[in-house]
Amino acid sequence: MAMASASRNPRSRLSADQSIGLLEAVNEIASAMATCLDPSRLTLEVVETVKRLLCADAATVFVLEKDGMLSCDLVEGGVEELAGSLYLRPGEGIAGWVASRREPVVIGDVEGDHRFAKRVDCETGYHTRTAMAVPLILAGELVGVLQVVNRSDGLPFCEQHLEILETLAPHVAVALTNAKATEELRGHASDLQTELEQRIGQVMTAKQEWEATVDAFHDTILLVDESRRVKRANTTTSRRAGLPVRAVPGRSCHEVAFGLHAPCDGCPLPRALEGHITRAELRVGNEVHQASHYPIKNESGAITSVACSYRDVTSARQMESRLMEAERMASVGRLAAGIAHEINNPIAFMSANIGVLEEYFGELASAVSDSEQAAEGDGSERSRRIGAGGKHVDVSRIVEDGLALLEDLRIGAERISCIVKQLGAFCHERQTVEKPVDLGNCVDRVVRRVVAEHPDACITVSKSTGLMVRGCEASFDEAIFALTHNAVQVSPQSVRISLQDDGDMIYLSVEDDGPGIAEELRTRVFEPFFTTKDVGDGLGLGLSTVYTTARRHLGSVVIEEADGGGARVALRIPKVICDDGESED
């Protein structure tokens, strides 16, 4: 016959053995609660303890879910075991009734009790005969239900059994709550650990991307503290310094960036440490570096370090200097062209008039000569001296001196005309159509021309054949002539011309054994009209013409000291390969 908590008889006192067993069970649950924080293992230990204490076939711990359902992950005992999940709807079955009423219940025979849910036996394959259940309550909150079914001796459960179960219930509720809380904490910890690992991965990825970005720069990039010590540097810095990346921090910035033992002249770091973004050009030896310094502040606004960037702008500055020089020479060329044009016109009619005057004086000289011969016949000097107002003029002397003066004027006009032609050659190409040019042929023509002007000159030529460039043949002739003529003037007995293949370039050099060119003059010799020769010996356009020819043909010209102490002026011109069908005409 069923027994319900609403009509139970007063509970009898537990026997001594039952009290000792109950105490041991409480100790076991407390020990399990202290040593086991896994809800599944804890539930299993609680079930085993309850079964042993009450001589029950099966025990189940139901957990109250958030939606009001009761669930258990372990059904233990009886003929068949089911490992899995079992769910009871709110109010369903004996456990559901206990959960909704929060009251314990003991039922001697479940067959006649309306609270018994036969569905559970059908699903589990277990036959329930007698059962009791108690709510698991902690701090006024229901956490689950502890249910025990069937005694191993076949007898029904009684009030004493329910009393034991009720005594265990608070301890089971605490243990279950702690285990569940621990599981949730572990879940949160696992989630936090996963999130932390993700964040760390993101930070590491961002760090690697940032380092790769900084390392991609070809500039020297440093992070420097207030004592000029490097805190961090990119790989470009370590590579240029010849140090491992890890050996760079702690060294001074001037040592790492430029290999100096003292701070750079004009270093902008002190001003950057005052909070100013600073930029400056630093000259270290023959190099020029663009320095940019950016102060870095902490949250309180104090400057903790300075980000320094050093870019090598030596080539850029040299290019700018060459461009300025090219522009200056272009301006001089335009000026020279204008001067040549303006001078050319008066020189033309001066030369023409001098020729006419020479003819006139020639005729006058012939007439004077005839008069002198006639005067010799009658002994008179009238034909040679003409009197005007009592003054006598020696016509013969005037004619003779006049012819000499006209000769000087003619020579001067020719000299000016030659200068104008040189100015024209400096300012304009004689041939604007570019074509393949054999520099070996140019050298041969120039040597014949120079030897014709200087028969005593000794010129040695060493050349490779078939070295072709593309450009203006007349311009190359003039450039090589200027180099060779200069060399012959200072060292007529020893001039050496070399024409060699230099990879993608052709190398043409002219050497002499003269006094050489002083270092301080090497930056000026390419200036138009600059010359170290005496007045009248040179116009100062020779090397300017060489420079202009090299620049127009994408080449370069350099002045070096020859092996014998003289000067070596070398041209480097890009080489071209002439197609078989392409003509040089």
In the numeric block, the tokens 């012959």 are attached to 488
pLDDT level of residue 2 (50, 70, 90 thresholds): very low
Model confidence at 547: pLDDT above 80: no
pLDDT level of residue 11 (50, 70, 90 thresholds): very low
pLDDT value, residue 576: 77
Q: What is the rounded distance in angstroms from the CA atom of residue 63 to the CA atom of residue 88?
A: 10
What's the mean pLDDT in 408-427? 65
> Higher confidence at residue 135 or residue 54?
135
Helices (H), 242-313: 253-258, 269-273
Model confidence at 8: pLDDT above 50: no
What's the mean pLDDT in 223-245? 87
Q: Which amino acid is at 307?
A: A
pLDDT value, residue 575: 82
pLDDT value, residue 71: 86
Q: Minimal CA–CA distance to 131: which of 56, 67, 36? A: 56
Q: Are 120 and 97 in contact (CB under 8 A)?
A: no
pLDDT value, residue 341: 63
pLDDT value, residue 220: 87
pLDDT value, residue 372: 65
DSSP 245: G
In the numeric block, the tokens 């040179």 are attached to 538
pLDDT level of residue 410 (50, 70, 90 thresholds): confident
In the numeric block, the tokens 């018994």 are attached to 116
Measured in residues, the chain has a length of: 585
Please indicate, yes or no, whether the overall pTM of this predicted structure exceeds 0.75. no
Q: What is the pLDDT of residues 124-167, one digit of tens each?
A: 778 889 999 999 999 899 999 999 999 888 888 888 888 888 88
3-state secondary structure of 534: coil
Model confidence at 583: pLDDT above 70: no
pLDDT value, residue 584: 42
pLDDT level of residue 102 (50, 70, 90 thresholds): very high
pLDDT value, residue 97: 94
What's the mean pLDDT in 234-254? 87
Contacts of 184 (CB under 8 A, 6+ apart): none
Q: Are 293 and 306 in contact (CB under 8 A)?
A: yes
pLDDT level of residue 98 (50, 70, 90 thresholds): very high
3-state secondary structure of 56: strand
Q: How far apart are the first and last CA of the chain?
A: 132
Q: Across all residues in the chain, what is the average pLDDT?
A: 77
Q: Which two tokens stand for residue 70?
A: 């009761």
Model confidence at 568: pLDDT above 70: yes
pLDDT value, residue 532: 54
Q: Are 441 and 447 in contact (CB under 8 A)?
A: no
Model confidence at 355: pLDDT above 80: no
Q: Are 399 and 368 in contact (CB under 8 A)?
A: yes
DSSP run (H or E) holding 283: strand 278-284
pLDDT level of residue 580 (50, 70, 90 thresholds): very low
Q: What is the rounded distance in angstroms from the CA atom of residue 100 to the CA atom of residue 187?
A: 29
Q: What is the pLDDT of residues 419-464, one digit of tens each?
A: 666 666 555 544 455 678 888 888 888 888 888 888 888 888 888 8
Q: What is the DSSP string of 417-483?
A: HHHHHHHHHHHS-S--S-EEEEHHHHHHHHHHHHHHH-TT--EEEEE-S--EEEE-HHHHHHHHHHH
3-state secondary structure of 132: strand
- Integer-rounded Cα Rg, in Å, for the chain is 58
Tell me which of 167-181, 353-367, 451-465, 480-494 is least confident. Answer: 353-367
pLDDT value, residue 73: 66
pLDDT value, residue 99: 92
What's the mean pLDDT in 30-51? 73
Q: What is the rounded distance in angstroms from the CA atom of residue 285 to the CA atom of residue 294?
A: 25
What's the mean pLDDT in 231-248? 86
pLDDT value, residue 385: 53
pLDDT value, residue 135: 95
The highest-confidence range among 16-30, 81-95, 259-273, 547-561, by mean pLDDT, is: 259-273
Q: What is the pLDDT of residues 16-33, one digit of tens each?
A: 666 676 677 667 666 665
* Helix, strand, coil fractions of the chain, as percent rounded to 5: 50, 25, 30
Contacts of 208 (CB under 8 A, 6+ apart): none
Q: Minimal CA–CA distance to 238: which of 257, 216, 262, 217? A: 257
pLDDT value, residue 429: 45
Q: Are 318 and 279 in contact (CB under 8 A)?
A: no
Tell me which of 55-64, 200-209, 359-368, 519-528 is least confident. Answer: 519-528
Percent share of the chain, pLDDT over 90: 6
Q: What is the pLDDT of residues 486-516, one digit of tens each?
A: 888 888 788 888 888 888 888 888 888 877 6
Tell me which of 94-108, 130-144, 179-193, 268-282 is least confident. Answer: 179-193
